[in-house]
Amino acid sequence: MDRNAPVGVFDSGVGGLTVVREIIRQIPKERIVYFGDTARLPYGSKSRDTVIRYSRQIIRFLNAMEVKAIVVACNTASAYALETIQAETSLPIIGVINAGARTAVHATHNGRIGVIGTEGTIGSGIYTEVMKKMRDDIEVFGKSCPLFVPLVEEGLLHDSVTDEIASRYLSVLKGKYIDTLVLGCTHYPLLRSTIRRLMGDEVTLVNPAYETAVELRELLAARDLSREEQAPFLGEQYQFFVSDLAEKFTDFATAILPGEVKETRQISIEEY
Ligand code: DGL
């Protein structure tokens, strides 16, 4: 396997760029091929079978791009499809859930952890399962927040409508005396300041993106796959692909990433 090959990262849309941002911060030499399935977002309200089918197509696309490892940046795809696609491909593949769960288990003092995510992620119970395997006395309280994704997609990051909806969702968790809250969806780190204000400073907010980048760095190092050379930024170093409206994605990506994203290419993912 070529250590200069890119890392493939995929998500249902723009949200996975929060994971890309962390990878760029922590391992800036790596090249990245990103795919956002903008035509088929949201994954969070779809069935397990559908999310597995979509994920398989994306893996085939990333394989065609000759990536050396894959990060499933989407929590819902990590919850539903990770195990299946790991078993079907020889490339190293990591998701975001183990990383988020591990950070939360280390951070909690009172053993009471909240998790917010899509209906799919929360309904799957995966965070509870993984955290309980790490420490069986942990209590996990899940809450799906289905309106957060469209609010972020609409750019309403600091808006009274977002405040009102967040306050309703999070009030359920406030009564549970949690001291740690996992932002178990790609989009939620972008609402961090609202969530922080509503939950208070005493609750630790966990962004799985950070720990996922750490896990990727360690995985590449362990397999002797870390890239040595520094390629020019946003030339061929980072390539972005979507399944719908490239322009909208480019604007969003430029707002999130440390540098201008010049080009996003639209592909027909159903062909893979
Ligand atoms: N990327 C999804 C996740 O992290 C959120 C958006 C969606 O529902 O597709 O779960």
pLDDT of residue 151: 94
198 found inside a domain:
yes
> Are 120 and 200 within one domain?
yes
Which of 191, 208, 225 represents a domain boundary (last residue)? 208
Task: List the CATH number of the domain containing 42.
Answer: 3.40.50.1860
> Are 117 and 91 within one domain?
no
pLDDT of residue 270: 95
Look at strands 112-117 and 139-144 and give their pairing.
Answer: parallel
* Closest to 29 (Cα-Cα) out of 168, 269, 206, 221: 221
Q: Is the CB of 12 under 6 A from ligand 1?
A: yes
pLDDT of residue 221: 97
> Are 104 and 162 within one domain?
yes
- Atom number in ligand 1 closest to CA 121: 10
pLDDT of residue 235: 57
What are the DSSP E strand ranges found in the chain?
Answer: 7-11, 32-36, 69-72, 93-94, 112-117, 139-144, 180-183, 204-206, 238-242, 264-266
* Closest to 11 (Cα-Cα) out of 212, 214, 260, 165: 212
* Structure token pair of residue 52: 């597995």
Angle between helices 192-199 and 160-174 (to 10 degrees): 50
Q: Is the CB of 103 under 6 A from ligand 1?
A: no
Catalogue the active-site residues: 74, 185
Render each residue's pLDDT in the chain as its tens digit; 272 residues: 889 899 999 999 999 999 999 999 999 999 999 999 999 999 999 999 999 999 999 999 999 999 999 999 999 999 999 999 999 999 999 999 999 999 999 999 999 999 999 999 999 999 999 999 999 999 999 999 999 999 998 889 999 999 999 999 999 999 999 999 999 999 999 999 999 999 999 999 999 999 999 999 999 999 999 998 765 555 578 999 999 999 989 998 999 898 889 899 999 999 99
> Are 91 and 101 within one domain?
no
> Are 143 and 163 within one domain?
yes
| CA 232 to ligand 1 centroid distance, Å | 30
pLDDT of residue 228: 81
> Are 150 and 236 within one domain?
no
Domain count, the chain: 2
| CA 112 to ligand 1 centroid distance, Å | 24
**59: containing domain:** 7-95+210-271
Which residues on neighbouring strands pair with residue 34, listed in sequence order? 9, 240
> Are 90 and 103 within one domain?
no
For residue 101, what is the DSSP state?
H
> Are 89 and 108 within one domain?
no
> Are 196 and 121 within one domain?
yes
Nearest residue (by CA) to ligand 1, atom 6, is: 42
Which of 174, 208, 242 represents a domain boundary (last residue)? 208
> Are 103 and 201 within one domain?
yes
Rounded distance between C-alpha atoms, residue 58 and residue 73, angstroms: 12
> Are 86 and 182 within one domain?
no
Judge contact between 128 and 143, C-beta under 8 A.
Answer: no
In degrees, to the nearest 5, what angle opens at C-alpha 187 toward C-alphas 132 and 198? 75
Which of 208, 224, 242 represents a domain boundary (last residue)? 208
2 found inside a domain:
no
> Are 91 and 217 within one domain?
yes
pLDDT of residue 17: 95
Rounded distance between C-alpha atoms, residue 185 and residue 183, angstroms: 6
- Atom number in ligand 1 closest to CA 149: 6
